[in-house]
């Protein structure tokens, strides 16, 4: 499918993937990356090289429920053509949920105002295969959710999260604004082999920040750390004052927001209303 060329268009894809067998979002020579596999499929349709702009650079093993990705092309392929054509050739662990058209120059990274990540812990000795690729099997019989929510509350608002980033993080500033954070048991597993979810929404995140928060919250839930320890980590900025880095398998980029939260200094490129075509709604 290679319909004719016209004016340059900016196409926004919302993609979902199981990150288990990917080395992460970013293209790496000789490695299977989300960006690389998706670019190959897009280029096969438009018949020219493309640059894919992602809103987040997920690490190896991390998943995405809804990751916005945009690229530009002069091809006149209709939006439903991209949706059907890409899903026909992409592998089973990567799919396109929806396709929209945005103004030329619009970029997912600069237009996003907030992101939500979900981290899942599967508790108990029983191992549930349906969660084995998307949750950390912790084996502990239970976690103190009240203690975890109390400690998580200390992270709300703007803080220096230097203690919650990896040594490989290259961000110039470790100041981040946490809009919301909660811990709850997944209702569908209640009373069986419980799955606990940590959900965090912030303006942006540092490298490994959510996984370190998840590891810290697990220690709180086990009674090994308390809210005071979290507050100390935020105040000191020392990595040693926070908990361990949780495994990547439990982490999923849940949603990227382009409105609904303050832009915190980010200018908007365009306010032109997009056209859209949606795929299946059960994106979870």
Q: What one-character-per-residue DSSP string does 193-228 give?
A: S-EEEEEEEES---TTHHHHHHHHHHHHHTTSS-HH
Residues 185, 143: Cα–Cα separation, whole Å: 10
Residues 225, 229: Cα–Cα separation, whole Å: 6
Q: Where are the alpha helices (DSSP H) in the chain?
A: 34-46, 79-89, 108-111, 145-153, 209-221, 227-236
59 is catalytic: yes
Compute the radius of gyration of the chain from its Cα atoms: 20
Q: Which of 251, 191, 261 is nearest to 17 (CA)?
A: 251
Residues 198, 211: Cα–Cα separation, whole Å: 10
DSSP secondary structure letter of residue 232: H
Catalytic hit among 18, 21, 59, 278: 59
The answer to whether 58 touches 253, Cβ cutoff 8 Å, is: yes
Residues 64, 168: Cα–Cα separation, whole Å: 22
Residues annotated as part of the active site? 59
């Amino acid at each position: 499918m290679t319909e004719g060329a016209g004016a340059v268009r900016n196409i926004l894809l919302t993609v979902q993937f199981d990150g288990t067998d990917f080395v992460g979002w970013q293209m790496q020579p000789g490695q299977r990356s989300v960006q690389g596999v998706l670019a190959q499929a897009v280029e096969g349709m438009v018949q020219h090289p493309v640059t894919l702009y992602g809103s987040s650079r997920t690490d190896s093993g991390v998943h995405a429920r809804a990751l916005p990705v945009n690229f530009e092309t002069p091809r006149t392929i209709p939006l439903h053509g991209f949706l059907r054509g890409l899903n026909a050739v992409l592998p089973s662990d990567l799919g396109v949920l929806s396709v929209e058209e945005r103004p030329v120059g619009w970029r997912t990274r600069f237009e996003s105002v907030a992101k939500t990540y979900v981290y899942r812990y599967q508790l108990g000795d029983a191992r549930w295969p349906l969660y084995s690729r998307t949750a950390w099997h912790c084996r502990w019989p239970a976690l103190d959710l009240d203690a975890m929510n109390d400690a998580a509350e200390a992270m709300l608002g703007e803080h220096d999260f230097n203690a919650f980033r990896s040594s490989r993080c290259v961000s110039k500033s470790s100041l981040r604004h946490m809009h919301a954070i909660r811990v709850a048991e997944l209702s569908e597993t209640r009373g069986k082999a419980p799955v606990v979810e940590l959900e965090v929404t912030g303006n942006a995140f540092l490298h490994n920040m959510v996984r370190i928060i998840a590891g810290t919250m697990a220690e709180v839930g086990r009674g090994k750390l308390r809210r005071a320890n979290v507050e100390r980590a935020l105040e000191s900025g020392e990595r040693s004052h926070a908990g361990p880095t949780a495994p990547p398998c439990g982490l999923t980029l849940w949603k990227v927001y382009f409105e609904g939260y303050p832009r915190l200094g980010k200018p908007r490129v365009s306010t032109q209303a997009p056209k859209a075509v949606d795929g299946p709604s059960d994106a979870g």
